[in-house]
Structure 1
Amino acid sequence: MTARMRVIVDNDFSGDPDDLFQLAHHVLSPSVEIPFVIGSHLKFGDFFDPSETQAENAAAIARDLLTRLGSDITVLTGSNTALPAPSTPVASTEAADAIIAEAMREDTDLPLYIVLGAGMTELASAWLKEPRIGSRLTAIWIGGPEHEGIGTPLPVAGMVEYNLAIDIPSVQVVFNESDIPVWQVPRNAYRQALVSWAEIDHRLRPTGALGSFLADSLDRVRGYVEAAGRSMGETYCLGDSPLVLLTALQTAFEPGPASSDSVVIPTPIMNDEGWYEDNPDGRPLRVFTALDNRLMFEDMFHKFAAFDHAPRRESADRRDAE
C-alpha cells in the first residue's frame, strides 16, 4: 500500500503506556509514512517517571518498542523541560530542528501531520524558530480541557488537564500566536477511548509477543494503583489511540476522519491558568467530540494479531539456509 500522509509522532513514552499502543498501531498502518518519532517529557515529578531525564527515557522506550516491531524509524530526543515563556523556545533540540526540516521539504506532496500525545514543547519551539512551518503541517493534539458547551466537564474544580499542564506556554504559542492548523481531542473526547480488561485479556494477550508486551505494560499500571489501595474498575483509557484514528484510518475518498464527530470553533486564547478565554476572531479550531471507537480498536486488535501471527523474516531466512 502506498503511503497517503507523513506523520511525525511526538509522545511521552516514559509515562502512561497508552502511547505504546498508539506508536505500535501507527507503525503497523501502511498508509502512514513516519519520518521520525520524538520522545518528549512529562509533567515534572510525574508518577510514572519522576526523573530529570524523561525525554531520554521516552526515546529509549520508543526505540525498544520499534525494535520489537522490526522497525528502523529514527527516534529523536526532545527537551526535558517546558518552554521558559511563550516567547522563548527551549534550547535547541534535534527534535525541533527535525520538525522544521520535515515541514520545509520540497520533494514530496504528501500532507504532513504532527501527532502529539503529551505537551507541545517541540512543535512550539519549532514554530518560534521558523514560523513558515505553520502553513505546512497540521497538528493533532490529545489534550486540553472541555470547551464550554461542548462535552461534559470533568467534575474536578480547578484541575488543569494533564497534557496541557506539561507545558502551558507551548500551548499558548500554538493556540494564541501561531497559524498552525490544530485538530484537538480534548479531555471529554479522549476519555471515550476505553477498552475493558476482558478485551485486553482475551483479544490482546493471547496473540503473541507484541500483544503480551503491551498487555503487561497495562498490568504494571494496575499493580501500582492496586498497591496504593485503589481499584481501576474494569476499563483502561487508551487515550492516545485517536491519533491513529484521525490519520491512518481516514476515509478512502475525500480523505478525512469522517467517522468521528467534530465541531469547528474560533481558537480560544489559552491563559496562564490553563483555561480558555473567548477569542471570536481566532482562526478555526477543529474540536473532536465523539470518536469511532469501533473502527479504532477493531483495526488495532487485528493489526496487532496479524503482526504476532506473521512469520518472522529470520525464520524464513533460516528455512532458506537449510
Structure 2
Amino acid sequence: MTQPRIRVIADNDYSGDPDGLVQLAHHLLSPSVDLRAIIGSHLRPGDPFDPSERTGENAAARAQEVVDAVGSARAPGSPRVIAGSNVGLADARTPIRSVAATAIVLEAMRDDTDLPLYLACGAGLTEIASAWLMEPRIAERVTIVWIGGPEDPDLASPPPGHSEVEYNLAIDPIAARVVLEDSDLPLWQVPRNAYRQALLSTAELDARIRPRGAIGALLADSIDRVAEFAGAAGLPLGETYVYGDSPLVLLTALQSSFEPDASSSESVLRPAPRLSADGVATFDGSGRSIRVFTRLDLRLMFEDLFAKLARAAR
C-alpha cells in the first residue's frame, strides 16, 4: 500500500479549460499525495469558457463533479473543495481574504506534520498571492508549482500567433507580479513552451480515457465540448488536445522514489521575468531565481494517468 509522502493543495480554474479536470482526477487517484484542499479559482472577465461573474464558485462546483465521479476509487483522504475569489487583486499590497487563501495559510502553518506541501496551480495566482500577503512566513513551508508564463527567450521561442501575455498570467497580472517579483515563495514554473508539449490525440482520448467509467466519460465529454465549440467558431483543433495542467501531477505525485524530486523531467534555474502592470514579461536577468521546466516526462505522466483510470474503472 502506497503511503502519502507529500501534501498538495490543487488550485485551478476548473470551470475553464477542461485540462484542469484531468489534472484533478489524476491527483485524486494518486495515493502518494495527501490532497488537502481543492480550490476553484477565477477566470478573466468574459472568458469564453465561462463568461459569468461567478467563475470561482463555478470552478468549485465543477471540481466537486470530478470528486463525485471518481468516487470510492480515489486515494484515501477527504479533500475540501473551496471556491476562491471571483476577481483578481486590486493592487500588489492588499490580499483578498477569501476562504481559499485562508485555507492555504492554515495548511502551510501546520506544525503537526513533516510532509512537504506543494501548491499545484494551473491558472491565475490570486489565492497564492493573497495567502503570501496575509502570511509571508508560508514561503518557508511551501513549494509553488505553476503552469503559466511565457517562454524565456534564452530557452525557447513562442508559438505561431501567440498572445503577448500568456493565458494563465493574464488571469491576474498583479498576483503574478506579487508571486514572481515581490515574494520569496519557492517557484517551479512550467511555462507555455513546456506545457504545450503535453499533447494527446483524439484517438488516445477515445481509447484510453473515455471507456474508464463515470470519470473517463466526464473527462472525454468535457474535451469534446471544447472541440465542438472551437470548430463551430471556425477554429478546428485537429487531432490533438493540450493537457497542459497534467504536469502538476507529474512534478508532485510522480517524483522519484529515492531522493524525491521531479527527476525525470528537465529544468534549469533562471531569473524570473519582470512584469508590467498588464502582464508583459521582460527577461532582463534581474529577477529572483526560479526553477523553470523545459522538458517533461510525458511517457510517465500519461501512462500513469491511463493506468490509474483503468484501475479505478475496475
TM-score normalised by L of structure 1: 0.93
Q: Does the residue aligned with 1:56 lie in a helix, a strand or coil?
A: helix
Structural mapping, 1:142-161, within 5 Å: 142-156=147-161, 159-161=164-166
Q: Please, which of 87, 91, 97 is the counterpart of residue 85 of structure 1?
A: 91
The match for 2:32 is: 31
The match for 1:288 is: 293
Aligned partners of 2:242 and 2:146: how far apart in 1? 16
Q: Does the residue aligned with 1:217 lie in a helix, a strand or coil?
A: helix
Q: Does the residue aligned with 1:205 lie in a helix, a strand or coil?
A: coil
Aligned partners of 1:52 and 1:203: how far apart in 2? 35
| 1:17 shift after superposition | 0.5
Is contact 1:261–1:288 with CA below 8 Å preserved after alignment? Answer: yes
Q: Please, which of 272, 279, 298 is the counterpart of residue 303 of structure 2?
A: 298
Write the deviation string for residues 109-130 of structure 1: whole angstroms up to 9, x where unpaired. 0001001000000000011111
Q: Does the residue aligned with 1:34 lie in a helix, a strand or coil?
A: strand
Report which stretch shifted further, 271-280 or 73-82.
Answer: 271-280
Structural mapping, 1:41-190, within 5 Å: 41-70=42-71, 72-90=78-96, 92-156=97-161, 159-190=164-195
Aligned partners of 1:241 and 1:300: how far apart in 2? 9
Write the deviation string for residues 239-286 of structure 1: whole angstroms up to 9, x where unpaired. 000000000000001101111111101223222242333464543200
**Amino acid paired to 1:35:** R
The match for 1:3 is: 4
| 1:154 shift after superposition | 2.3
Write the deviation string for residues 148-169 of structure 1: whole angstroms up to 9, x where unpaired. 2111212336521000000000
Aligned partners of 1:160 and 1:190: how far apart in 2? 15
**Amino acid paired to 1:62:** A
Is contact 2:164–2:280 with CA below 8 Å preserved after alignment? Answer: no
Aligned partners of 1:105 and 1:279: how far apart in 2? 37
Q: Does the residue aligned with 2:211 lie in a helix, a strand or coil?
A: helix
Relative distance call for 1:64 and 1:207 in structure 2 (3 A) is closer
The match for 1:317 is: none
Q: Please, which of 222, 238, 243 is the counterpart of residue 233 of structure 1?
A: 238
Aligned partners of 2:21 and 2:186: how far apart in 1? 26
Would you say how many aligned residue pairs link Structure 1 and Structure 2?
A: 308
Overall identity of the aligned pairs, in %? 57
Is contact 1:145–1:275 with CA below 8 Å preserved after alignment? Answer: no
Aligned partners of 2:283 and 2:256: how far apart in 1? 33
Structural mapping, 1:253-264, within 5 Å: 253-264=258-269
| 1:227 shift after superposition | 1.5
Does residue 250 of structure 1 match 2:255? yes
Report which stretch shifted further, 259-268 or 288-297.
Answer: 259-268
Q: Please list every run of 5 or more consecutive structure 2 residues that lacks an aligned counterpart in the other structure.
A: none
Q: Please, which of 194, 215, 225 is the counterpart of residue 220 of structure 2?
A: 215
Is contact 1:119–1:167 with CA below 8 Å preserved after alignment? Answer: yes
Q: Please list every run of 5 or more consecutive structure 1 residues that lacks an aligned counterpart in the other structure.
A: 310-322
| 1:98 shift after superposition | 0.6
Aligned partners of 1:201 and 1:232: how far apart in 2? 16
